[in-house]
Amino acid sequence: MARRLAWPLVVVGLLIALAGAAVMVVLGPDSRFTTGPHAVRTDGVAVVTAPDVITYRGLQVDVLVEVPVNKPVFVGLGNTVDVQDYLAGTRRLEVTSFRAPWTVRTAERRGRPALPGAPTALDWWIADSAGLGGASISTTLPDTPVSLAILAVGASDLSGLRVTFAYGVRGGFGLGLGALLVGLGLAWSGLLLRRGPSVATAGPRRPWRERDAGAQELGEEVEVVEEEVYVFVDEHGVEHEITAEEAARLQERLAADAPDPTSPDPTSPDPTSPDPTSPELTDPEPDTSVAIATETGTGTGAGEVPPPAVVYVFVDEDGVEHEVSEEELADYELADDEHVDDAPADDGRRDG
Amino acid sequence: MSRRSAPVVLLLACVLALTSCTVPRPRDDRPASTVPIDRAGVEQVLSRYDQVREAAAKLLDPKPLSTVESGAVLAIDTGSFDVAQRLSRGVGSDGTSDQVERLAVPRFTGYPLWFVVEVRDQAAKVNRVQVFERGSAVDPWFLVASPETVLSTRLPDLRERDGAALTVDPRSATGMSMSPQQAADRYAAALEDPSAAAARTIENDDFRAQMRTAARRNASLDGVRFGQTWKAEKVTHALRTADGGALVFATLERVDSYRVRDGIQVTWPDDSPQKALLESGVSSSGRLRYLHQVLVEIPGGSGRPRVIGQYGGVVEAEGP
């Protein structure tokens, strides 16, 4: 499940990181994209955006308007209903479309040559500023339809108007940086998921990871396979894992070595009843210590049981044992030719 | 996903959510509209109104009122200031102790803009249900209606959408027994002639009873031919109530006319507005013009309209 999420996480992370980087590059450290100054040709008293020109909200907008010879000028952002009513009867240059960075379409609207009232006396501007030779506003576009108006104050006009426009997101550079880091983090997380769990995370509580960590997937259910393991314990108390075939052979030998059931030995266990000391093949870990003892004790006495294979060993001067074949025996001097029956009951090995 | 990574993912999700909140997005494409004022703005409007009213009351000069009042309210208050001047008595300041009880601001797609505020005047022991209107973008907020209700009167709940009060087209009777304009017209008709058919469609409330009582008293004067006419002005302010009805602000014009036989003179008590305007009374013919602003509640369904508040007075006099 987690691995299935890995690639989408990487892709989404990279996309977010790219978007963040793009925002950082476009906006720059001041979080704004600035264009201008642009000349706006008009000799009227008002330049205003049409109702549907400003369609974004949450955008940080900075507008600087400049007029020559220190003429008084006003710039304001207001609800479209207010601005349209205010300028409805006034001759104005209406911005009918705007596309970033600065593609503007305008239309002349007829009307009275003067404003119906001083813009500075109105209380419904969302942001406004007035000044001699220039004025600027800096505001965030609200979630209501708004229009921008550049107005001449007093008896002046807007000839020679130049507009510098900047827009961005407050703290946009930081947001871009954040998006970059978040995206990279997501991508990294995806890669980690893709690689699978680390050794450090695989603990004794999840033994299946150790067995087949590469094939397991995080979150998947593990099928538990029960496995029978056959073990015999030699006379030194050391456990040896044996195969099922070896266990079967061993059981056959035990059966052959068992005393005649017709003359039961009171000291021997009842072979028909489960005996904790007899080999129990259905037991995953049958206790074979008695069986081994019986085997070693009987030696070759049982005709059906083949004699154990003789292993010849050469011990070098360092005490290290080396197994040698019967053909190679001629090259060695026999140090001990004791018969297997007399040898210590281990696994039938002879030293050479 | 391991438990260890869950907090990290949660943190990233929160960061993304917060980031997306600040990202500029296109606005919805609804037509341009405005909810023209908020509570803070209303407080400013009321404060400015109180200041101007206070200044006018001190000087008994109604002229400053023209900067904060308009229409019937200005006419009524100018008349009351005129009467107060002639009678050398003060007028109520109408404001400083007011407490805003309720505010209803509709959404508009164009001018005029208006809102309704209910303020409690503890001194006068009345609630004023005031309508402030801005006729154009260059106008200030003017008080255009101010019917008063007794403190025990509870206005019907108003219907809202997206935090803005809903208005009712004065000519629409949807969900009601009649439209706001019809209610005003029929109310005027019922006041003028209680036996008119329109009178049966209007609730017989206290205002009707008072007006009929005053008219009967004037008509009972010997040697005087008394006539009274009522007329409703155009309704422009109506709010939708929660029950599907309407709360209507209507202005009714009342004209009392007197034709007096020779040798007889009609006079009024010394402290009455009529006495102030017609100092020597009416000796041949005379005419008094009143304006009454009434607050009409039209219930949803088939209920009959009734007046729950009024504010009025004499605004003009012709005599003798």
ipTM of this predicted structure: 0.85
Say if residue A41 is in the same domain as residue A146. yes
Residue A210 belongs to a domain: no
Nearest chain A CA: its distance from B9 CA (Å): 8
Residue B127 belongs to a domain: yes
Chain B interface test: which of A16, A32, A85 (most B C-beta within 10 Å): A85
DSSP string, B213-252: HHHHHHHTSTTEEEEEEEEEPPP-EEEEBTTS-EEEEEEE
- Does A271 have pLDDT greater than 50? no
Residue B43 Cα distances to B59, B73, B139, B141, angstroms: 25, 20, 18, 12
* Total domain count, chain A: 4
* Total domain count, chain B: 1
Domain range for B178: 39-318
Residue A204's pLDDT is: 46
Residue B24's pLDDT is: 74
Which is nearest to A247 in space by CA: A293, A294, A279?
A279
**Alpha carbons B314 and B317: distance in angstroms, whole number:** 8
Residue A270's pLDDT is: 43
Count other Cβ atoms within 10 Å, centred on residue B163. Answer: 9
Say if residue A132 is in the same domain as residue A145. yes
A142/B contact by beta carbon, under 8 A: no
Residue B34 belongs to a domain: no
Residue A187 belongs to a domain: yes
Residue A269 belongs to a domain: no
As a whole number of Å, the end-to-end CA separation of chain B is: 97
Say if residue A57 is in the same domain as residue A146. yes
Residue A2 belongs to a domain: yes
Chain A interface test: which of B34, B35, B108, B109 (most A C-beta within 10 Å): B34
Contacts of A123 in chain B (CB under 8 A): 140
A80/B contact by beta carbon, under 8 A: yes
Q: Which of residues 172-231 of A touch B (CB under 8 A)?
A: 175, 178-179, 182, 185-186, 189, 193, 197, 201, 218-219
Residue B9 belongs to a domain: no
Say if residue A88 is in the same domain as residue A154. yes
**Alpha carbons A34 and A62: distance in angstroms, whole number:** 9
Say if residue A187 is in the same domain as residue A238. no
Residue A303's pLDDT is: 42
Residue A213 belongs to a domain: no
Q: What percent of chain A clears pLDDT 90, i.e. is strictly above it?
A: 33
Residue A218 belongs to a domain: no
A232/B contact by beta carbon, under 8 A: no
**Alpha carbons B273 and B157: distance in angstroms, whole number:** 36
Higher pLDDT, A202 or A256: A256
Residue A254 belongs to a domain: yes
Residue B320's pLDDT is: 67
User: Rounded mean pLDDT of chain A?
Assistant: 76
Say if residue A283 is in the same domain as residue A315. no
Strand order in the sheet with A46-49: A103-109, A92-99, A46-49, A146-152, A72-79, A125-132
Residue B159's pLDDT is: 97
pLDDT 10s per residue in chain B (320 long)? 555 566 666 666 666 665 555 667 787 777 889 999 999 999 999 999 999 999 998 888 999 999 999 999 999 999 888 888 888 777 765 554 568 999 999 999 999 999 999 999 888 889 999 999 999 999 999 999 999 999 999 999 999 999 999 999 999 999 999 999 999 999 999 999 999 999 999 999 999 999 999 999 999 988 899 999 999 999 999 999 999 999 999 999 999 999 998 888 888 888 888 888 888 888 889 999 999 999 999 999 999 999 999 999 999 988 76
pLDDT in tens, A188-204: 888 888 776 554 444 44
Counting one residue from chain A and one from chain B, the pairs whose CB atoms sit within 8 A come to 93
A59/B contact by beta carbon, under 8 A: yes
Is pTM beyond 0.80? Reply is no
Say if residue A321 is in the same domain as residue A232. no
Residue A346 belongs to a domain: yes
A2 with B1: Cβ contact below 8 A = yes
Contacts of B109 in chain A (CB under 8 A): 81
A148/B contact by beta carbon, under 8 A: no
Residue B48 belongs to a domain: yes
Say if residue A246 is in the same domain as residue A134. no
- Nearest CB to A218: which of B2, B19, B137? B2
Say if residue A86 is in the same domain as residue A19. no
Residue B140 belongs to a domain: yes
- Nearest CB to A86: which of B8, B22, B138? B138
Say if residue A183 is in the same domain as residue A160. no
Domain range for A25: 1-31+169-196
Q: What percent of chain A clears pLDDT 70, i.e. is strictly above it?
A: 70
Burial of B194 (0-12, 13-18, 19+ CB in 10 A): middle
A56 with B8: Cβ contact below 8 A = no
Residue B238 belongs to a domain: yes
